[in-house]
């Protein structure tokens, strides 16, 4: 990945995050969601947007559907905010890395608590 692509990925992530916070009024996107990363194809035609969504499986599914249906809105807004010849086509994907990290942290705390309990005996 080139430096230009990395900068573009970061810029798209920041702009989409701001749009989600301030301009999107879709009730399906009312849950807590975070754009974790963006991967743009080398030809800059497509961008995979990875989103971490906190909530039940139903809320996650609805949020992804809401994001997918709003992709043309996001592209239109990005066209006005970014000075690019071509705005990449956005596709949204669930990223559960934050949930996995929280689960691993929880397991580590359990193991530490069990070990400290055994040492006290």
Name every residue whose Cβ is closer than 8 Å to that of residue 48 and which is 6 or more positions away in sequence: 38, 39, 40, 91, 93
pLDDT for 104 equals 93
- Residues 107-119 have pLDDT tens digits of 999 999 888 876 5
Largest CA distance in the chain: 68
Q: At 24, list the tokens.
A: 């999107």
pLDDT for 118 equals 67
pLDDT for 14 equals 95
How far is the CA of 100 from the CAs of 8, 41, 60, 104, in angstroms?
Answer: 27, 26, 15, 6
Domain 3-96 in CATH: superfamily? Answer: K homology (KH) domain (3.30.300.20)
Residue 12 burial (C-beta neighbours within 10 Å; 0-12, 13-18, 19+): buried
What residue spans define the domains of the chain?
A: 3-96
- Residues 81-92 have pLDDT tens digits of 998 889 999 999
């Amino acid at each position: 990945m080139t430096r230009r692509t990395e900068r573009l990925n970061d810029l798209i992530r920041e702009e989409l995050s701001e749009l989600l916070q301030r301009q999107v009024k879709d009730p399906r996107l009312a849950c807590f969601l975070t754009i974790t990363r963006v991967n743009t194809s080398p030809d800059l035609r497509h961008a995979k947007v990875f989103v971490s969504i906190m909530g039940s499986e139903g809320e996650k599914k609805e949020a992804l559907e809401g994001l997918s249906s709003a992709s043309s809105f996001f592209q239109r807004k990005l066209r006005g905010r970014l000075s690019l010849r071509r705005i990449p086509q956005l596709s949204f994907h669930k990223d559960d890395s934050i949930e996995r990290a929280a689960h691993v942290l929880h397991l580590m705390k359990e193991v530490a608590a069990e070990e400290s309990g055994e040492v006290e005996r």
